[in-house]
Amino acid sequence: MSPRRRLLLLPVATVVSALLWSTFGSFSSASGQTDEPTVTIDRTHDGDLRPSFDEPIFVLVVGGDDLRGNDAEGSVRSDSVHIVAIDPVSKKTSIVGLARDSFVNIPGRGNDKLAHALFFGGIEGVVTTVENVSGCRFDYHMLTSFEGFGGKNWNRNGTSGGGIINDIGGITMNVERALTDSFALKKVDPIQPGKQSFSGAQALAWARSRKDASRPGGDFDRSRAQGEIMVAVLRELRGDFAKDPGTALRALGAVRRNVRMNIGLTESIELGLLLLDIAPKNVTNIVVDGALDSDPRAGSIVRITQEGRNQLTDVCSDGVLDNP
């Protein structure tokens, strides 16, 4: 390995390893603040050996709507839950979203919406719930919040105030249909069709919207949109580094201001180098198939169909979606 490559290895690896941990509508930005970042990355199972990085790696990405300790039941909900499976051999990644209203068994609670798993069991409860439903065993998990994804003190177009998306210079998105959801667009103007750069606030609006004519699938479409943000971040960082390796240092600064990683340095480096090799065209983004239904206690729910269960078995068996 050349001396120049050794010099760049650490910042590049750290930035790319943060890729999946700095994406969709769900972080707290500590930029310019002394607050502890609310984005945390942890190894999932105490006592597990470090992943070998030549076998599938599984990451559970959980976005909570409010992690500030509200007392009302259900006030802390796991509003976004994604399985991210990385196959080091084929250099493929699968992003598999679960609708927040999926009706599942939550340990200690019984059957309820997946969105309530975080409140009743904390991140450990979400991990156990999703592992039981999917058959995956997660190497890492990420817990984030919606607060601060676009930074503090947004202006109308969301171009100021910090946050990771803003700190890395925005992400490029190709919008097919306008997004005019007034609930999600509290901080930004309607998003028009066309290829454009998203600020942090725009990315948050894109990741949160489920009540829009362009999102007839509601939460299914929202979960898919969150996966799109992940792919966009990958594309942005790979493209930026190809043009200017110095961007790795700037992105590293964004990560340091926003994310606390409770994993070893060597793991960060190896995971970063692995992700650096994954082309966006080799990322599959789906939402687990489900059917709308209702339950006397839970209200409107989503029942995971047999097709959905097959999708989960597919990705958890070897880290690759063969039949998305």
187 falls within a domain: no
Q: Structural domain tally of the chain?
A: 1
Short-list 45, 27, 47, CA closest to 37: 27
- Span 34-48, mean pLDDT? 71
211 falls within a domain: no
Question: What's the pLDDT at 165?
Answer: 76
Question: In this structure, what CATH number is given to the domain that contains residue 270?
Answer: 3.40.630.190
pLDDT, tens only, 67-102: 444 433 334 777 889 999 999 999 999 999 999 999
Is the per-residue pLDDT at 155 higher than 90? no
Report the share of the chain in percent with pLDDT over 90.
43
197 falls within a domain: no
- Give the residue numbers spanning the domain of 281: 3-167+220-316
Short-list 213, 152, 155, CA closest to 180: 213
173 falls within a domain: no
pTM reported for the whole predicted model: 0.82
Is the per-residue pLDDT at 236 higher than 50? yes
Mean pLDDT of the chain: 78
278 falls within a domain: yes
pLDDT greater at residue 41 or residue 139: 139
Write the burial class of residue 299 (CB in 10 Å: 0-12 exposed, 13-18 middle, 19+ buried). exposed
143 falls within a domain: yes
258 falls within a domain: yes
CB 284 within 8 A of CB 231: no
Is the per-residue pLDDT at 307 higher than 70? yes
